[in-house]
A = this chain, B = another copy of it.
């Protein structure tokens, strides 16, 4: 390329314009949420503090779809809520059934082992999800109920794989197994279908920085009545994450230690946005946006990490790059040259996939932005994808599924 403009333009790359963020969390903050957090500090012991916090607990239960039990708010990342769930409801040495098929399910297994649980871990290809059949076998075989909890990573963020929680509940019920059902819903809850109560989930973990469209800093832990009962006798030593302290203080809307009130203000608005749109509409929107991204990926001639459509996640797509391409180049080029962040391939997927996060506060044009940038970065990194092909495939899907088309034209 030797046009005068191109030559002149060399070296003109600047920090101009917005950074485009397509990681699977933290997600983009809606403007009303951002505004709501721009507040002075407030007194977390004020007599009217509960007017802010008590409805948040209710709202979270609604988002988790549970009318019983509790949703605790911990000032921590989602990892903290994992720890809270384990240390309050299980005992050291308890046997638990887990599966590993991505970096986050891997880390969860690692935590369980480090905290002293006896982990029965089923390894599965990274690209598949929870092996419900194997779970069913193990549970059926566990006649004396040695398995105290079954762990399900609902949406493995590292591979873009969504698993079938209801089916795991079915497996438990089929053999009448009493184990607690512990679900990591960090990248699913408030974005895709999740039904804590209907699915008999006992512990459900979410974080502020995904479907709840907030900065990181809060974890949410849904706890069933059964898990609350278990917590009363749990023998793990714990303090920061102790349910009992939370229960006592939360009763009046207070916390055992100073909570991040700005995030509470943001959570108020985030919940309002979710409920105003409607949870089911939110789920459909995620499905529609994700399908456009997937069509774009397939139009490139590339595959997802998720091996079968039933595993496809509506919140994140892990894209396998051609063998001749290093996905790390795609990421670096996108970030350094085009001011766009995608998610990286983690652990055994490093260099093999890049991930497009499509959850939270997004619309179809934003997804086209992601695809348009990815095409440039892929081509720059040596992938033979056709320019515009992914964008075109997604555009047509979004156009087909855009409801108000007729009115707008007819108006």
The chain B residue sitting closest to A332, CB to CB, is: B408
Give the residues in chain B near A390, CB-CB below 8 Å: 388
Question: Are A239 and B114 neighbours in the complex by a CB distance under 8 Å?
Answer: yes
The chain B residue sitting closest to A262, CB to CB, is: B215
Question: Are A409 and B329 neighbours in the complex by a CB distance under 8 Å?
Answer: yes
Confirm or deny: A403 has a beta carbon within 8 angstroms of a beta carbon on chain B. Answer: yes
> Which residues in chain A, 69-99, are within 8 Å of chain B measured between CB atoms?
75-80, 82-83, 92
Known: A216-B259, A365-B339, A387-B392. A26 touches B9 (CB 8 A): no
Compute how far the CA of A285 lies from the CA of B10 in the bound complex, rounded to whole angstroms: 10
Most buried by B among A18, A80, A338: A18
Confirm or deny: A277 has a beta carbon within 8 angstroms of a beta carbon on chain B. Answer: yes
Confirm or deny: A35 has a beta carbon within 8 angstroms of a beta carbon on chain B. Answer: yes
Question: Are A240 and B365 neighbours in the complex by a CB distance under 8 Å?
Answer: no
**Nearest chain B CB to A44 CB, angstrom units:** 7
Known: A18-B361, A239-B111. A258 touches B369 (CB 8 A): no
Confirm or deny: A141 has a beta carbon within 8 angstroms of a beta carbon on chain B. Answer: no
Give the residues in chain B near A76, CB-CB below 8 Å: 75-76, 80, 240
Confirm or deny: A68 has a beta carbon within 8 angstroms of a beta carbon on chain B. Answer: no
Q: Which of B288, B336, B387 contacts A12 (CB 8 A)?
A: B288
Question: Are B368 and A372 neighbours in the complex by a CB distance under 8 Å?
Answer: yes
Give the residues in chain B near A36, CB-CB below 8 Å: 35
Question: Are A395 and B387 neighbours in the complex by a CB distance under 8 Å?
Answer: yes
**Nearest chain B CB to A5 CB, angstrom units:** 6
Q: Which of B21, B392, B404 contacts A43 (CB 8 A)?
A: B21
Going nearest first, the 3 A-B pairs with the smallest beta carbon separation are: A388-B392, A388-B388, A17-B363
CB-defined A-B contacts under 8 Å, sample of 25: A5-B288, A11-B403, A12-B285, A14-B277, A16-B30, A17-B28, A18-B361, A21-B43, A26-B44, A35-B36, A37-B37, A38-B38, A46-B335, A47-B335, A77-B240, A79-B239, A79-B256, A82-B239, A83-B239, A115-B237, A215-B261, A216-B259, A217-B262, A380-B402, A388-B389
Q: Which residues of A contact B (CB under 8 A)?
A: 1, 5-6, 8-21, 23, 25-31, 34-47, 75-80, 82-83, 92, 111, 114-116, 207, 209, 215-217, 236-242, 256-263, 277, 281-282, 284-285, 287-288, 291, 329, 332-333, 335-341, 343-344, 361-366, 368-369, 372-373, 375-376, 379-382, 386-393, 395-396, 398-405, 408-409, 411
